[in-house]
């Protein structure tokens, strides 16, 4: 389906705008006020070109070379050399959506009119996005200060018609060839324009926005997985009562508990733990394990961390990050707004939350597999334990992922390393934080998929097979039925990897959440 255009003006984009352009190829259009603002700030730059006073990025070198005055006849070469030398990334190719987020973020900053570039530069940048041309960028090269220099330089290099890109069909081609095929004329950069194209935190910000969108879905999915595990392990829903969570009313915790209550409401299996005389739970154990009982507290804390990260992203989306900048009153001023610390910190915070949510999910899965703790289920949920291994190694896979997530939770933002002859002596490492968060989000998706796969198998074994009817709540029944369309129920051991992948896809595209929502009277939070 064609996407409506995203209008890039002098104000902020929304996170939904970013997702639409990066993942769904929505076209972009520059607003008239943005074109006017860029034209106005460009007149400021052009008035300084030959006034005899050194102006950083206009008539000087860059970084530690800023003391060098550049003659007028070498200014175009200065910009060209800047981009060529800074397009120095290495390593595995960065995902297309990350590159598109990088391009869109820089375009949005150019459109504020605070960078001093000609409207032509922004309109050409928009044309690249709309043509589906994606510069090839390696994962290494950005220290997150002065912004994402190397990644953004590869984008600027493509604007110049140089370097390698992938066309709309994903083919690797020279930039000049791709631009020609799309009818785009390469840009010859003038004073300050090269600097304006690379002095931003756009890469790390794009990764933050995409991760936040994924985590909104995954944290609700974690509530679903926990509810399925509570039901499948014959747990109690009493601990999720609204009045109990009102005693510690963190918004995320309250929302998570409400989700789990809604998902368990009317569950026959949960109801079977009640006595008919008093309506109270008749447990042979006093309390459920923490991984069941404390799910709202952990999932809620992750939601709180996500809310803080989204607040930081909102500020960044409304920011004009460049050095120097053109102020509304016509001054050109150096600054340090390109430092990625605000974004780097929250990228690291989210990686910590992701690791902890996944760790709790793995513990719930393990309880299903241990005959001493599963309350009547076969060891490892095997059809014939000893002959069959059931989900024994699925939990190994979870454990391996969780172990990696703990390593990825190590913060990148504390690992500053000086560069540029000590001129850039403290950097954010936000780009690295973004890349590792993306890997962490993928890991959490897989861990939750395995928990849901395992919980559904345990529930099927309690039911004795779908032919006897489900004893789950309505939303969990709907989830189990959706899963069984792609993954068969319990039986003798089968090739397990495709079943894990099928569950992962259903978590990743939101199909399981959609199934649960379809059976609920209200939405989940």
As annotated, the active-site residues are 56
Residue 135 pairs with which residues in a beta bridge? 165
DSSP state, residue 377: P
Residues 398 and 450: their CA atoms lie apart, in Å, by 7
Count CA within 13 A, CB hemisphere, residue 418: 5
Residue with tokens 């309880």: 367
**Integer Cα distance of 238 and 262 in angstroms:** 12
- The Cα–Cα gap between 156 and 128 comes to 11
Query: Rounded to whole angstroms, how far apart are CA atoms 241 and 263?
Result: 13
Copy the structure tokens of residue 204.
């790390």
Q: What are the residues whose beta carbons fall under 8 Å from the beta carbon of 339, sequence distance 6 or more?
A: 144, 145, 146, 426, 427, 428
Q: Are 125 and 143 in contact (CB under 8 A)?
A: no
Beta-sheet strands, E only, within 216-375: 325-326, 332-333
163's tokens: 């370097």
Nearest to 461 by CA among 388, 511, 359, 513: 388
Residue 218 and residue 306 in contact, taking contact as beta carbons nearer than 8 Å: no
Neighbour tally for 53: CB within 10 Å = 9
Neighbours of 491 (CB within 10 A): 11
Question: What CA–CA distances, in Å, run from 505 to 289, 334, 366, 403, 512?
Answer: 29, 47, 22, 22, 10
**CA distances, 82 to each of 159, 169, 225, 320, 331 (Å):** 14, 30, 50, 21, 24
The pair phi, psi for residue 22, each rounded to 5°, is -75, -40
Q: What are the tokens at 497?
A: 């990897």
Q: What are the beta bridge partners of residue 164?
A: 174
- Residue 454 in contact with residue 381, Cβ under 8 Å? yes
Alpha-carbon distance values, 238 to 151, 222, 252, 317 (Å): 51, 19, 19, 42
Tokens 């189990």 found at: 480
- The angle that helices 474-484 and 430-463 make with each other, rounded to 10 degrees, is 100
d(CA 349, CA 364): 23
- Sign of the four-CA dihedral 104, 108, 111, 116: negative
- Provide the greatest CA pair distance for the chain: 93
- C-alpha 126/C-alpha 133 separation (Å) is 10
């Amino acid at each position: 389906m064609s996407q409506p255009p995203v209008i890039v003006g002098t104000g902020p984009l929304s996170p939904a705008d970013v997702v639409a352009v990066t993942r769904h190829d929505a076209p972009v259009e520059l607003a008239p006020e943005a074109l006017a603002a860029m034209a106005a700030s460009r007149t400021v730059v052009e008035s300084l070109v030959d006034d005899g006073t050194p102006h950083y990025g206009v008539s000087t070198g860059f970084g530690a070379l800023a003391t060098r005055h550049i003659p007028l006849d070498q200014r175009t070469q200065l910009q060209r050399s800047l981009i060529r030398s800074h397009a120095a990334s290495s390593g595995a190719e960065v995902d297309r959506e990350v590159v598109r987020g990088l391009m869109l973020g820089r375009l949005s900053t150019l459109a504020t009119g605070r960078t001093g570039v000609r409207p032509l530069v922004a309109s050409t940048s928009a044309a690249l996005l709309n043509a589906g041309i994606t510069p090839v960028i390696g994962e290494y090269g950005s220290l997150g200060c002065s912004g994402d220099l190397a990644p953004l330089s590869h984008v600027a290099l493509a604007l110049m018609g140089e370097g390698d890109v992938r066309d709309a069909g994903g083919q690797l081609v020279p930039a000049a060839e791709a631009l020609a095929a799309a009818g785009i004329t390469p840009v010859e950069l003038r004073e300050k324009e090269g600097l304006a194209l690379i002095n931003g935190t756009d890469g790390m910000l794009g990764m933050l926005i995409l991760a936040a969108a994924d985590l909104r879905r995954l944290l609700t999915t974690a509530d679903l997985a926990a509810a399925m595990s509570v039901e499948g392990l014959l747990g109690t829903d009493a601990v999720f009562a609204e009045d109990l969570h009102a005693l510690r009313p963190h918004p995320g915790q309250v929302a998570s508990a409400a989700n789990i209550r809604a998902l368990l409401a009317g569950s026959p299996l949960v109801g079977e733990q009640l006595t008919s005389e008093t309506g109270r739970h008749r447990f042979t154990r006093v309390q459920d394990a923490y991984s069941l009982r404390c799910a709202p507290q952990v999932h809620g804390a992750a939601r709180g961390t996500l809310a803080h990260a989204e607040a930081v992203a909102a500020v960044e989306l409304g920011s004009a990050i460049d050095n120097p900048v053109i102020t509304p009153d016509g001054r050109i001023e150096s600054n340090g707004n390109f430092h990625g610390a605000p974004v780097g910190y929250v990228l690291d915070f989210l990686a910590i939350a992701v690791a902890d949510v996944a760790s709790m999910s793995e513990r719930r899965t393990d309880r299903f597999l241990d005959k001493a703790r599963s309350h009547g289920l076969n060891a490892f949920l095997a059809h014939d334990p000893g002959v069959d291994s059931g989900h024994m190694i699925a939990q190994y896979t979870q454990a391996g992922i969780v172990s990696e997530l703990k390593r990825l939770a190590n913060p990148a933002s504390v690992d500053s390393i000086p560069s540029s002859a000590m001129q850039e002596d403290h950097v954010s490492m936000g780009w690295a934080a973004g890349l590792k968060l993306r890997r962490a989000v993928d890991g959490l998706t897989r861990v939750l998929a395995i928990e849901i796969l395992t919980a559904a198998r345990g529930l099927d074994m309690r039911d004795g097979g779908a032919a006897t009817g489900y004893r789950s709540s309505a939303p969990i029944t709907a989830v189990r039925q959706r899963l069984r369309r792609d993954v068969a129920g319990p039986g003798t051991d089968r090739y397990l990897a495709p079943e894990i992948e099928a569950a992962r896809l259903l978590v990743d595209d939101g199909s399981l959440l959609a199934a649960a929502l379809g059976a609920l009277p209200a939405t989940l939070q």
